[in-house]
Structure 1
């Protein structure tokens, strides 16, 4: 059991690194730094493929292949491969300790399937030339892995549960769903390179409802930068993607602030409320700064890291909260009261 707990913590930390580093690879246009998979020009590292990388770069200096980009891409693959091995070890330990109440061995085993799908999505990201649907799905898979590992770690370490009214618990669940949807919108914005479609704030192109092409913006099966019929994706479509992300942020942020208010007013959950408020404030600030300053790489990566932090905070809060149970005999007392009322009538 101690080994299982340590493996979970290491895997959780590594998953956060993989997700954030993956964002760095994408944002620095290094996703095709090695145009094949799983190696680099059939070699185990860019060092061994240096001749092919140099030739490709010389033929197209502005293209996606260069030695620095190849190293970024391969380091991401090395980290992801290590994570896959860690998850196999976690599943093996969970199976060995499956009788322990703190071990969710079925979820640990299901993580293997998630990692296999992630590996395939990583392959298709390269071989299908950064299709937005595949890249976004790859991000979703990484965050799913992160969330499941966090849940397993919380259970394995016996984190205390708190009983709150059903309405407060339902609000936390809704906040988590909205945050997940907002992260997906953020991934769609990033993978379609729509982050600079609106260069002003809080308006977009000087308007609170800019001209936008939502139909082409959210058509899933298409090439990068293209509509479904092969035309170049218009500014109106990119604007639609960006503006949808902002509207999603407004909705999710409002619900998260409501959750902060609920948590901060109750004994035992005040610290969680303050942690959530801090993470949310940081993420909002990073989002605004990215627009105001013009999406510098460091801030863009930090915004992705902020999404990771918010996700972990919401997993922690949702794990800890459970709905209050009705007192024993409460249902029977209600039934007796109803019968007396009917008899009186």
Structure 2
């Protein structure tokens, strides 16, 4: 069975490998731009994971100021190191360092995107879309840095947190697009016309449904934040049930996502028999949808366990990444007029 995968075994020897049932084995060495951009994609998903930890642990104000933390570039590790003009009750070493690590990863991503942008100039003549997407990611990460400061300075205003997370997703897909355009000749697949059209329709529906679901999910989360921050907060295990109609729509809409994902799985696994990369990614997408549903059920019935929150948020980042990669592969596939 053909397998398609990206490996990052080490930054010096990273290879893009396509293994086939055919005797030949094709290995494409990743250039510096592709290595840095892929590393940035991985770091962005990791940042979304850490952001989930920050939110689930309530560490969003672990550093009450910005860009410094308790007025220091290196935050304190004990109450004794806290500056005199800060309230001791504001300090929690776990929350402070969780938020500080979140900020450090954001800075690292900013540096990586800057390097990615600089390296993309090599493509300005033959593949200008690589430069454009890298430039877009560079601008977006500057906006993201400013927005992160606003989240802290406004005391974790709910809609700003949501915008902060959605912008991280947008940076991620922008970088994926840049890497894909840089590698499009090696990644191009061949699909019969009719199958390609069906796959395009199904993945477009799935992508649209996923973003609607993300929007609904963020509204649920914002409503929960309001309940959590009330002067007299209701019991934690009742928060979701008190959200109301938005959560009902969110849970019901998951059926549409599951059906669309099932359509992708059926077409890619049992109808498209000659595109192993498509089959593999289709299976991954369906598995991630099931993971989202299972963790969503756990969040509802188990009283919002923090670990479920983190997995749920990180899972949607992976799901969007694979959906977008799937869409790009199908969109740029070569067509075969007659099925063989």
In the TM superposition, residue 113 of structure 1 has moved relative to its aligned partner by: 1.3
Could you tell me how far apart the structure 1 residues matched to 2:230 and 2:201 are? 39
Partner of 1:190: 221
- With normalisation by structure 2, the TM-score equals 0.76
Preserved contact between residue 283 and residue 303 of structure 1 (Cα < 8 Å):
yes
Preserved contact between residue 240 and residue 247 of structure 2 (Cα < 8 Å):
no
The structure 2 residue matched to 1:42, chosen from 65, 71, 80, is 71
Partner of 1:129: 155
Find the residue that maps to 1:166 and give its secondary structure.
Answer: helix
Could you tell me how far apart the structure 1 residues matched to 2:139 and 2:114 are? 10
Preserved contact between residue 41 and residue 49 of structure 1 (Cα < 8 Å):
no
Q: Does 1:28 align with 2:57?
A: yes
Regions of 4+ moved over 3 Å: 48-58, 100-103, 161-165, 194-197, 234-237, 323-327
Q: What's the RMSD between the two structures over aligned residues?
A: 2.9
Q: Deviations over 1:62-120 (max 9, x none)?
A: x6x42211111111011001101110110111013323439611111111111111112
Preserved contact between residue 70 and residue 86 of structure 2 (Cα < 8 Å):
no
The structure 1 residue matched to 2:280, chosen from 252, 271, 285, is 271
Q: Does 1:104 align with 2:99?
A: no
In the TM superposition, residue 166 of structure 1 has moved relative to its aligned partner by: 2.3
Partner of 1:181: 212
The structure 2 residue matched to 1:3, chosen from 5, 12, 32, is 32
In the TM superposition, residue 41 of structure 1 has moved relative to its aligned partner by: 2.3
Partner of 1:241: 246
Structure 1 162/57 Cα, relative in aligned 2: closer, same or farther at 3 Å?
A: farther
Between 110-119 and 46-55, report the one with greater CA deviation: 46-55
Could you tell me how far apart the structure 1 residues matched to 2:84 and 2:42 are? 34
Could you tell me how far apart the structure 1 residues matched to 2:336 and 2:43 are? 41
Could you tell me how far apart the structure 2 residues matched to 1:241 and 1:310 are? 22
Preserved contact between residue 140 and residue 184 of structure 1 (Cα < 8 Å):
no
Question: Please, which runs of 5 or more residues in structure 1 have no aligned partner?
Answer: 198-223, 227-233, 328-345
Preserved contact between residue 257 and residue 277 of structure 1 (Cα < 8 Å):
yes
Q: Does 1:95 align with 2:111?
A: no
Structure 1 135/66 Cα, relative in aligned 2: closer, same or farther at 3 Å?
A: same
Q: Deviations over 1:231-261 (max 9, x none)?
A: xxx9887223322321232222222222222
Structure with more strand by fraction: 2
Structure 1 54/281 Cα, relative in aligned 2: closer, same or farther at 3 Å?
A: farther
In the TM superposition, residue 309 of structure 1 has moved relative to its aligned partner by: 1.6
Could you tell me how far apart the structure 1 residues matched to 2:143 and 2:230 are? 25
Q: Deviations over 1:181-226 (max 9, x none)?
A: 21232233224326999xxxxxxxxxxxxxxxxxxxxxxxxxx769
Q: Does 1:143 align with 2:165?
A: no
Partner of 1:230: none
